[in-house]
Structure 1
Amino acid sequence: MIKDLSTLINNKIPFWKQPLFILRVIIIVGLVYIVGHLTIQYFCEPKVTAQTINLRDMPTPKGHIIEKLAYGTRLKVEKKNVHTKWWRVKVGHHQGWVASWLIHQTKYRAINSLAEATIVLDPGHGGIDSGTIGLHGAMEKTYTLPTALAVAQLLRSKYSRVILTRQSDQSVSLSKRPKIANMDKATLFISFHFNSAGKKNAAQGFEVFQYHQNARKLAQKLNNNFVNLPLVNRGIAFGDFEVLRDNQRPAVLIEMGFMDSTHDFKHIKSKIYQRLVARDVVRGITQYVH
């Protein structure tokens, strides 16, 4: 009997191996994990540092505004679209979409839809493709890029998301340009070009081209706002160009003057003209997205 008691004492289960102790440890570890996870999740949730942004029912500036989210609002991100940069978020009982590039724009206030637009600007030609050759051997590609950059700078100052098909003198295939707009589900696409009549001073002026009917409104808004340009307005025309034909987004191509016109080329090569184009284009885009 004494031997059996001694054996029982010697074989006593250590407290850390007892079922109740193990259960308590599991509960404590679980609670620590849950609290830690929730704490990390809370501090990792993006917080709106813009003055206000729109929560919309669709990932587009055309979507209905569900709510205006104020500075300091925390967003529970449910889905991120890596192409469009729109995020599906939950705020309280509301679920919707926000333009992610505006969340931390501290000076931004949701006044209009322009800032929520994704705009693809296409400086025509580039690299080995010089485009048309104008007066004094001037190459079209030399002027399409600074014109598009002037538009991009003005749009970005208004917080729009701008994508350029090229940002330097590089070759970009015609097929790739509309694909960029299609992949990012761009709000609109504008291709910048300059024309040539094949004979000196045979023609002059600027012209807006469209292919698909979904670009008609965009073409009209742009053309109606070209009021400050010192060139002849040749209106809107149908243009069977690959960058328009293969584009699923509202897309236009603008011929901003004739490279072989003495009158037009004088303006084409000036920075003042590029700024005038930028101002009128942005005004037209602003009216289009509303």
Structure 2
Amino acid sequence: MKLLSVLISTVLFLSLVPELKVHAEGSTIEAAHDGILIREGPGLSYPAIATGNAGDQYKELQRDNGWVEVSVNDGSGWIAEWLLTSVNEPETEAASQSAVTTDNLRLRAEPDQNSEILSVIQAGQSVEVLSSSDNWSEVVYQGNTGWVVSEYLDASASEPQAAEGSNGTILVDRLNVRDDFSSDGNVIGTLNTGDQVIVSDEKYGWLYISTGTLTGWISSDYVEYHSSTVNQTAETPSDDIHITVNGLQVRSEPGRNADVIGTVNLYDSFSVEEQSGDWLRIEFEEGKSGWIAGWFTERGIHPESNVSAQTSGEVTILYNGSNVREAPSTDAAVVYKASAGESLSIVSQNGDWYEISLPGGGSGFIANWIVSTGNEAEPAEPESETEEENEEPVTSISEATIIIDAGHGGRDGGAVGAAGTLEKSLTIRTAEVLYHMLSSTGANVIMTREDDRYVDLYSRVAISRDHQADAFISLHYDAINDRSVKGFTTYYYGGPDEALADSVHEGLSDSMTVKNRGMQHGNFLVLRDNSAPSVLLELGFISNPSEEASINNDRFREMAATGIYNGLTEYFSE
């Protein structure tokens, strides 16, 4: 009741907050929507102190991890960057684009190898470089501002996405073109499969495009877009290239409408016979030539085209619950979960993967970045990370590192409720309640997202691994065409997940008043690829109108968080 009273007081307070004054001096920012909240600090956990509306402008004071401090009335407050449409930066802060050249590059809060990890960036992703200091560069990636090792940035190979003059092809029919980079933007036209566009800007999963007769914003999820330079692939016909996707179609002529005459696969290598715009002609079978899209290729022979000569020795597993797969791919099925410190014999090496012998017979594949062989070269990122296993098992929640994963976010809204509720909004609000409950125990609690931004699934798993989590809790709400279905479900993948699932599900069962749909096996990436004990919780069906109404109540989220809290407390005391 005390929490409910505080929430009611907050709502009443906000209703009395005066509209913000416009500040025009210095660098300015502009609000994108009506009813934005200006908070006391840089995060959703801080109370709102004022509200603003679309078009309001404010003087910018500083930035902190996706938030902007602004002058407001006679003081200051914080606005999330994704609520802004216009940011006028001083000319001295002009930024450049660079491409990341290694996988799993850590974005850190400070230029220090021991600083907090804000995100993990994969090879080929583009970052905005703000400044450089010693061997560190300050960059912006997916709304996060932080520091990365400068050695792993390449300004000459920056990702072509959304570069001026980039070409794109629409992949679906009736794709809406909007006047703003938001699903709330007005629809000003539509595009269909195969339509060609020019991409000139990108913001938070939206592309600013032009067709010659229509200009506006479209979702990047439904566009195949690439640089007109084809990443400089095959500058001369004699260059070798390799394929970067599976099942790439080979066509009779250089164009998307030409007949398909064959396919080539990931890491296949070829010599380029001819180039026509973005299309490359290759000999894909003996005596048979055809055309492939050059933006699905890279120059040179890929290392996975050949099996390494290393066929002896052992690997030592670095993390508990490391996945051994039936093929050298993160999409392949898991055949064995290895424990930290376990040594397994090498059968062969295939690119970035070791084929290893399994204790019960047979073999499987494990990624080389989660094992040690004792004779390898320096790791790709020279941050001297020390991945240490806890000497003693965690026996109290106060000693635990817990990851709270608020499902969806940003351009990924998740399920949509019967009355239009967005799943991503419910998960972040539930995560905030759970965060404060768990933090009060002294636990080290980390959220995969603290606001409405897109975080890909691999980055969520990487956050769990990099923080050596003791538990990973992914929060979701369900939806289905049958509006009568209701209740909560606990999903786990296997192995060490089951004990965590048992405890959390029991805690939810004792706390929740909605139907208990039980525990189920779930083949979800955030569970399957996670080295920490993990569960994915579907806390109710927002497709059911009555359950959606309950879920939108603060009391419901408090009960759900209490159940999870009690389950975790029990789990870490066993």
- Provide TM-score, normalisation by structure 2: 0.32
Distance in 2, matches of 1:83 and 1:150, equals 32
Distance in 1, matches of 2:513 and 2:543, equals 16
Q: What code does the residue aligned with 2:532 have?
A: R
Distance in 2, matches of 1:247 and 1:133, equals 27
153 and 86 in structure 1: CA distance in 2 versus 1, 3 angstrom threshold? farther
- Structure with the larger RCO, 1 or 2 (CA within 8 Å, 6+ apart): 1
Q: What code does the residue aligned with 2:434 have?
A: V
Runs of 4+ residues deviating >3 angstroms = 81-87, 96-99
**Structure 1 equivalent of residue 251 of structure 2:** none
**Structure 2 equivalent of residue 116 of structure 1:** 399
Match status 1:136 vs 2:415: no
Distance in 2, matches of 1:200 and 1:97, equals 48
- Aligned mate of 2:552, from 254, 264, 269: 269
- Aligned mate of 1:164, from 442, 447, 460: 447
Preserved contact between residue 86 and residue 98 of structure 1 (Cα < 8 Å)? no
82 and 271 in structure 1: CA distance in 2 versus 1, 3 angstrom threshold? farther
**Structure 2 equivalent of residue 190 of structure 1:** 473
Name whichever structure is richer in strand by fraction. 2
Distance in 1, matches of 2:466 and 2:385, equals 10
Give CA deviations for 1:80-104 in whole Å, capped at 9, x if unaligned: x9788999xxxxxxxx7899xxxxx
Distance in 1, matches of 2:392 and 2:543, equals 48
Distance in 1, matches of 2:499 and 2:514, equals 22
Which structure has the larger Rg over C-alpha atoms?
Answer: 1
Preserved contact between residue 501 and residue 535 of structure 2 (Cα < 8 Å)? yes
3-state SS of paired residue (1:208): strand
Question: How far has the Cα of 1:212 moved from its partner?
Answer: 2.4
Preserved contact between residue 83 and residue 183 of structure 1 (Cα < 8 Å)? no
84 and 198 in structure 1: CA distance in 2 versus 1, 3 angstrom threshold? farther
172 and 254 in structure 1: CA distance in 2 versus 1, 3 angstrom threshold? same
Tell me the matched-pair count.
190
**Structure 1 equivalent of residue 502 of structure 2:** 220
- Provide TM-score, normalisation by structure 1: 0.61
Name whichever structure is richer in helix by fraction. 1
Give CA deviations for 1:228-275 in whole Å, capped at 9, x if unaligned: 212101010011111111101100000000011123212211110111
Give CA deviations for 1:106-136 in whole Å, capped at 9, x if unaligned: xxxxxx6111100000000000000011112
Distance in 2, matches of 1:98 and 1:221, equals 17
Distance in 2, matches of 1:236 and 1:83, equals 36
| Aligned sequence identity (%) | 32
Q: What code does the residue aligned with 1:215 have?
A: D
User: Any unmatched runs of 5+ in structure 1?
Assistant: 1-80, 88-95, 100-111
Distance in 1, matches of 2:420 and 2:546, equals 16
User: Any unmatched runs of 5+ in structure 2?
Assistant: 1-383
234 and 97 in structure 1: CA distance in 2 versus 1, 3 angstrom threshold? closer
Match status 1:146 vs 2:412: no
Preserved contact between residue 209 and residue 237 of structure 1 (Cα < 8 Å)? yes
Preserved contact between residue 126 and residue 141 of structure 1 (Cα < 8 Å)? yes
Distance in 2, matches of 1:141 and 1:251, equals 20
